[in-house]
Structure 1
């Protein structure tokens, strides 16, 4: 919301100083891109502890899944025997 208010104020300041319509539109587009990037970067830093926590939980739970490991080993063995048989 702050970004939107900044862009509106920025556009009004350019209108009051007599900048052309093309210049105002270009300045608002560039300002929007910069503000959107800054907002996404700020959100990333705000969410970083949660992202690290989720990654740690996934890393810890990954080794305990025996069924996935058995399935992967079974498929690997079947494909290896298939390759040996049809060479």
Structure 2
């Protein structure tokens, strides 16, 4: 949600300052791409502890549970 608000404010600021529409679209696309990328990085950091727990669980299952059968 923060990403969308940032991009909308960014576009409005460019339009108020009198920049051409082509520049506004290019800047909006670039800002949207950067914010989406940063949002994905934030999501990965947020779920990183669960990814580590899952990786340890898979390693434990492969090395201790599955080989004993």
Normalised TM-score (structure 1):
0.73
Give the number of aligned pairs. 68
- After superposition, residues 1-87 of structure 1 pair within 5 angstroms as 1-63=1-63, 64-66=65-67
CA distance in 2 between partners of 1:26 and 1:33 (Å): 11
**Any unmatched runs of 5+ in structure 1?**
70-87
**Any unmatched runs of 5+ in structure 2?**
none
Runs of 4+ in structure 1 over 6 Å off: none
CA distance in 2 between partners of 1:17 and 1:40 (Å): 31
Q: Tell which has more relative contact order, 1 or 2 (C-alpha 8 A, sep 6+).
A: 2
How far the C-alpha of 1:66 sits from its partner, in A, is 4.3
Normalised TM-score (structure 2):
0.91
Higher gyration radius (CA): 1
